[in-house]
Amino acid sequence: MAPGHSFWAIFYFACLCSASLANNARVNFREKEKKILDQILGAGKYDARIRPSGINGTDGPAVVNINLFVRSIATISDIKMEYSVQLTFREQWTDERLKFDDIGGRLKYLTLTEANRVWMPDLFFSNEKEGHFHNIIMPNVYIRIFPYGSVLYSIRISLTLACPMNLKLYPLDRQICSLRMASYGWTTADLVFLWKEGDPVQVVKNLHLPRFTLEKFLTDYCNSKTNTGEYSCLKVDLLFKREFSYYLIQIYIPCCMLVIVSWVSFWLDQGAVPARVSLGVTTLLTMATQTSGINASLPPVSYTKAIDVWTGVCLTFVFGALLEFALVNYASRSADRAADIHRENMKKKRRELEQASIDAGSDLLDTDSNATFAMKPLVRHPGDPLALEKMRQCEVHMQPPKRPNCCKTFMSKLPTRSKRIDVISRITFPLVFALFNLVYWSTYLFRDEDAGE
């Protein structure tokens, strides 16, 4: 063949190939999808009221596989005992009536946005309080139909779910909040929910909660039996651990500071009545306000919480410091009255002794008519107070020396009873409070708890 003829033959063949490729490029697969949808979902061909058959076309229950993607957890409310979660909910099942030709693998799946066009499981969230779909900018929902008849339904929803809490260890507690999904009308003879194998629940990375940490989550089954039959149910348990640092800074440390400030009263002079009363009343009112603020953020439960024990004992210590000053003031006034009485008695005795000495001198100088001196007997009567005092001194010197007691020796150096009460309080209150802290933290920090029970 001449070189010119071979060139024209190659050119003609290239033109035919480009025309063929252009014809293929002009094929609109979206039109193909429409035709296939009309073919499988046309009138009289598919009835969305009829559930799919069982596995491998049997008459068994339709099997629906569930998986979740937790996008965010907004709030966990202690007072309402609920939590809010946003998630992508997916369920997948097989409906052999929806099989279609994938045109040599070119159609991977068909997409629908109308859920009422195909049969849907009647799933509901049994512990839901509130919920809504997301419709901005378009409804966040899609349905994919695969060539072998598998249907994937995906939707983004926000839910507020009930979460019964056990607050006995609050704020050192862990809580289990569940998400329950069940069939409303189909029994297990017609519909069964299963968790998707592999990874049924996914949680967004870097999930941040203000006062909790998501430790782990567990999937389980919770089928329920009623008088109308047994219904399939799935649940996922989210285990939350409460962050303690917030409560340490906002509650525990301020309460400790208030208790310590109330002890300053023990170091003030017992005569500084306005200062000690003001300090005791101020710390008591502040502690009561702190306690009421804590209780306002919690539900009124019938049992005692760990925070109740702490605030109750701290309030008792502050109130005890105020009562201690009342006792000191009473002891001081009693001592003053006793000192006044003792002073009056001493003055009275001194006057009696002076009078007795004057009478004795006058008796010595007095003479009778025979010019003889009247002599008083040298031996005193048994009831004489001076003789009794000397006898006591002799008895004290004759007694054997006792072993010295450190506490009594130290207390004897304190001049008054009120001062002794203050000194004892300076030692006793901190020791008892430290012992309480040891028992409290060892009890609640190392206690085996069953969260959520």
Q: pLDDT tens digits, residue range 163-191? A: 999 999 999 999 999 999 999 999 999 99
Predicted pLDDT of residue 164:
93
- For 362-391, the pLDDT digits (tens) are 655 554 444 444 444 544 455 555 555 555
Average of per-residue pLDDT across 25-38: 72
Residue 121 pLDDT more than 90?
Answer: yes
**pLDDT score recorded for residue 27:** 55
- More confident site: 123 or 338: 123
> Is pLDDT larger for residue 396 or for residue 86?
86
Q: What is the DSSP string of 242-310?
A: E-HHHHIIIIIHHHHHHHHHHGGGGGS-TT-HHHHHHHHHHHHHHHHHHHHHHHHTS---SS--HHHHH
Peptide bond into 171 cis (omega under 30): yes
pLDDT on residue 362: 62
Q: Kind of pairing, strands 110-112 and 174-183?
A: unpaired
